[in-house]
Amino acid sequence: MWTSAESCYQFTETVNYSLHSALQAAAVARSVLPGAADRRPLTAKAALGSVSELRSVAYRSFMAHLNALAEDNKLNVYHDNWSKVWEYPWIWLNGLCGLDLHDRKILDIGSGESPMPWLFALLGADVMMVETGRENVSLWTRIQQRLQLKIGWRIVSDEELPFADNTFDAVTSFSVIEHQPDKAAAVSQAARVLKPGGVFGVSFDLCQPEWGMRYPDILGKAFSVEDFEEFVWKHPHFDNGGQTLDWKIEQCADFLQWHWSGDSHSKYVVGAAILRKRNAG
């Protein structure tokens, strides 16, 4: 039983790893795993970004390890008011770190230069990345050859995923869906390729105009609370445990202020969810 979120991690404020080999990289990856006694059953949950969480030892320790991995492999490093410093550890802590990733098939949608799929691969997963452009292929090839991991990639043109039904044990999408025009198709495709009982981890930009939020058109279209409920939380293929969401501005007011750059056209928050695909029948 988990006594606290921090029990997953060593209480380290800074990490000074230099990852010069796959062995060293795997050691860093393993350092973010909870012990067997700390693992808990995965249940459906959803949340809005929280400043108290992203400032916790557990979240900062996770990001320090992840940034060490990213820095050494020329992947994206996240600090300051990047929302990923909440999104990545939230999805890891609330679901993925409780899974045995060895030989599990994981699909990461919109991977780009994210370090997360590489973390999964270092922990023994068989990872597939999906992107709409080829600009990162040379980087991926270099890292894959260096670390000798089970990781591949496919280039796609839209939301349709070129994989058979019931292929993956987990699907992740980190702040990608706001850039996908057909959100219903994006979520349905993720559900289709998941195995029954498989895990969907998704984070997303959220803009609720009546809460005083604004979202720049250049970034795409963020979810509203109602959109998230319709397209994700109440999707017929996912089991939300019968939970009803009751999100209010008070739950994310601190995050809204923390994340806001001062731009009058860009003032929004992020959310995340962990869901399992319903078993057939």
Q: Mean pLDDT in the chain?
A: 87
Percentage of the residues of the chain whose pLDDT score is greater than 70: 85
Q: Which CATH architecture has domain 42-277?
A: 3-Layer(aba) Sandwich (3.40)
- Quick one: three-class SS letters along the chain? CCCCHHHHCCCCCCCCCCCCCHHHHHHHHHCCCCCHHHCCCCCCEEEECCHHHHCCHHHHHHHHHHHHHHHHCCCCCCCCCCCHHHHHHHHHHCCHHHCCCCCCEEEEECCCCCCHHHHHHHCCCEEEEEECCCCCHHHHHHHHHHHCCCEEEEECCCCCCCCCCCCEEEEEEECCHHHCCCHHHHHHHHHHHEEEEEEEEEEEEECCHHHCCECCHHHCCCECHHHHHHHHHCCCCEECCCCCCCCCHHHCHHHHHHHCCCCCCCECEEEEEEEEECCCC
What predicted TM-score, i.e. pTM, was given to this entire model? 0.89
Structural domain boundaries in the chain: 42-277
pLDDT at residue 95, as a whole number: 87
- Which of 16-20, 96-100, 105-109, 274-278 has the lowest average pLDDT? 16-20
pLDDT at 280 over 80: no
